[in-house]
Amino acid sequence: MVKKTIISILLIPFLILAFSPKKELLFLLEKQWATRGIVLADGDVKTHPFGLSVDHLSLYVKGIKVATIRHLSLWSVLFYTKGSIEGVTFDSSLTSYLPSHIAHVTLVHSVIDPLRAKLRVEDPAMQGEGSFHVKKRTLSLRFTKLPKGISTTRYLKHTKGGWVYAQQF
């Protein structure tokens, strides 16, 4: 009896996560972002037992197309969530501030540090890592490698460890 109870207690959260309505959670997130002027559109959504993936996604900010995302995937297991973005291509009008392409971006959130999510940017021309603080609503990134030709002095501060971007919103 005790063995069945322990197995049930361990199995129920995984079954809830595996059969949760992931598309509806994505649409709820999109609705929340739409109130801030951020719209994710034109994506092909596929669900998996512990996550979902979206292919060929467009990112609009206040009605202006800012970027195209080749692949976005979210994976979650109870206390750990990982988001991965591959193939971000920015609009050509933003190339003086941002690189034209970023190969891979990873966002990791864990219950161990529930108010902070870790962020990593990886590309042959650019590398950086940082964090997003949920309660303080701050984003801080430290770039160790930046592509040439980007105007960095206005938004990034040069330190001994690289270039730092810090923003509160």
pLDDT of residue 159: 82
pLDDT-derived band at 129, boundaries 50, 70, 90: very high
Mean pLDDT check: name the lowest of 5-9, 61-65, 131-135, 138-142: 5-9
* pTM (predicted TM-score): 0.77
Q: What is the pLDDT of residues 69-119, one digit of tens each?
A: 999 998 887 788 899 999 999 888 887 777 888 899 999 998 888 889 999
SS (H, E, C) the chain: CHHHHHHHHHHHHHHHHHCCCHHHHHHHHHHHHHCCCEEEECCEEEEECCEEEEEEEEEEECCEEEEEEEEEEEEEECCEEEEEEEEEEECHHHCCCCCCEEEEEEEEEECCCCCEEEEEEECCCCEEEEEEECCCCEEEEEEEECCCCCCCCCCCEEECCEEEEEEEC
Mean pLDDT in residue range 143-162: 76
